[in-house]
Amino acid sequence: MKKIVLTLILLLATIATQAQTFYELQFTHPVDKRKYLGLMTYFSDERCKMRIVRADVGAKGSVMESEYIKRTEPKTRENKVGMMYYQPKNGRSMPTLLWWWTDFRGEDMEPEPQLIYDMASPEDRFDAISFKEKQLSSMTPAFVEMFYKPNEAEYKNLIAAAKKAGAQNKTDVTSKGGNTPTLRLLMVANTEVDDIGIACQQDIKNVTNEFRNIARVLEIPYEQTIVSETDFGKANVANAIENFKPGSKDIAVFVYSGHGFRFQDQKDYFPCIDLSPTAYDKAVENYTTMTDIYNAFTAKGARLNIVLSDCCNTKVGQEAPAAVSVSTLFSRASHSLDTDKLRNLFLGQGGNVWATAASPGEASWCSVKGGFFLLSFIESLRYQISTMTQEKPSWESLINLAIDEARKKTNGNGVPREQNGVKQVKTKSVQ
């Protein structure tokens, strides 16, 4: 069964999902009393880096750079219940960024972090002047030159990406006319179940917002069908699949969020999905396999099929142990969208994309902000279409990255065993 991770903090008011987002940090050093500037490039919870320079000389002086690692801890002192921090990999030459909260839901977290150079000396922490998002389109050459020398490759990449982002903010995406496909989403979510219902509800919000906005930017029609709440059940899911009728040029998306399992002697790597309408109905009498859904879905003849499931793949009757620690998942829309990459991914590709959250015998984990796998899928999608991503977008690399990011989210965080997704991707260019 899919398992929910209890969280102390829900959002850091909030740092970005996978596509790069930039943050400008300002602080005064407690020893030399000089003002410093930092530029954080944020990829995901697990991947970010920062450059720090003196505000008066910028990159003409000494430039410090480090990758950062995120940590969270419950706290029972200083009237705090939780702490999150980003710690540099290169030791004490760069400050650690700390956020605290006293409210269980993390709603009292301040947007500006505290800074500290030595975690062993908590009395030495001090407040940042500011920590704010910096939109890529507003990053002028003068600003970038504060942190990079003009002959650095990353300087050139940032300037080119900022220029492109600014142009896209002013340019409408042209319609493809009569041959315009429709993006059609069918989502099934077990929102009424007591243990993970809140995560499934959030999955609906996350997934529908994402695909609706993709269709809006591409200027193509969007249709969605949601099977949840009291409509959730095997018969209604079967009817929804039968009535799902994409055209040959369409993008067809199926997403499942809920409980899952596998039989003791099951050879299929993909799970069964539990479509029991209540806790009093037996899963083994109210299920279908993701393989059957995939086969039925892809047989409908859409140009591009995307079939995703965020559920456990544990043996039927086997309960995964409850998570006992904290997890943070950050979510903010990225401002570094490359519409050409987005168009290539959804309109320039055809074939089938199929993935599930966990390998045979593994649990799938979630927080109140949604399933780790679906959140990682959205992060990875945004990374693929970022102006700062150098490689050509592909569904193979996107799904590989989503599986890897979900694995990282469940490596630690009180989860007894990390999840490793299963996928099958067969796509090709249709342009």
CATH number of the domain enclosing 394: 3.40.50.1460
Same domain, 361 and 410: yes
Do 99 and 12 form a contact (C-beta atoms < 8 A)? yes
pLDDT value of position 323 = 37
Here the tokens at position 386 are 């970022």
Q: Which of 138, 153, 170 is the last residue of a domain?
A: 170
pLDDT for residue 73: 67
pLDDT score for 175 = 39
**Is 15 among the domain residues?**
no
CA 78, distance to chain mean position in Å, is: 32
pLDDT at residue 389 in the model: 76
**Could you give the C-alpha distances from 294 to 300, 335, 353, in angstroms and in order?**
10, 33, 10
The reply to whether 166 and 196 lie within a common domain is: no
Residue 95 lies in a domain: yes
At 79 the pLDDT is 66
In this structure, are 149 and 181 located in the same domain?
A: no
Q: Both tokens of residue 344?
A: 């290539």
Pairwise CA distance, residues 55 & 229, whole Å: 54
Q: Residue 191 in contact with residue 200, Cβ under 8 Å?
A: yes
The verdict on residue 378 lying in a domain is: yes
Domain boundary among 170, 200, 235: 170
User: Considering its fold, how many domains does the chain have in total?
Assistant: 2
Whole-number average pLDDT of the chain: 82
Do 216 and 285 sit in the same domain of this protein?
yes
In which residue ranges of the chain is pLDDT below 50?
1, 3-19, 169-177, 321-335
Residues 282 and 240 in one domain: yes
- Neighbour-count burial of 153, counting CB atoms closer than 10 A to its CB (0-12 exposed, 13-18 middle, 19+ buried): exposed
| Domain C-terminal end among 170, 190, 209 | 170
In terms of residue numbers, what domain contains 84? 21-170
Asked if residue 340 belongs to a domain, the reply is yes
**Domain match, 257 and 335 both:** yes
Contact present, 263 and 6 (Cβ < 8 Å):
no
Contact 228, 395 (CB under 8 A): no
Q: Would 277 be classed as within a structural domain?
A: yes
CA dihedral of residues 224, 229, 234, 235 (deg, nearest 10)? -70
Say yes or no: 318 and 364 in one domain: yes
Q: Are 85 and 152 contained in the same domain?
A: yes
Residues 147 and 220 in one domain: no
pLDDT of residue 18: 35
C-beta separation of 409 from 377 below 8 A? no
CA distance 326 to 330: 13
Same domain, 185 and 306: yes
Do 125 and 47 belong to one domain?
A: yes
In a domain, 153, yes or no: yes
Whether 153 and 52 share a structural domain? yes
Q: Is residue 206 a part of any domain in this protein?
A: yes
Q: Is 204 exposed, middle or buried (0-12, 13-18, 19+ CB in 10 A)?
A: buried
**Residue 16 domain-assigned?**
no
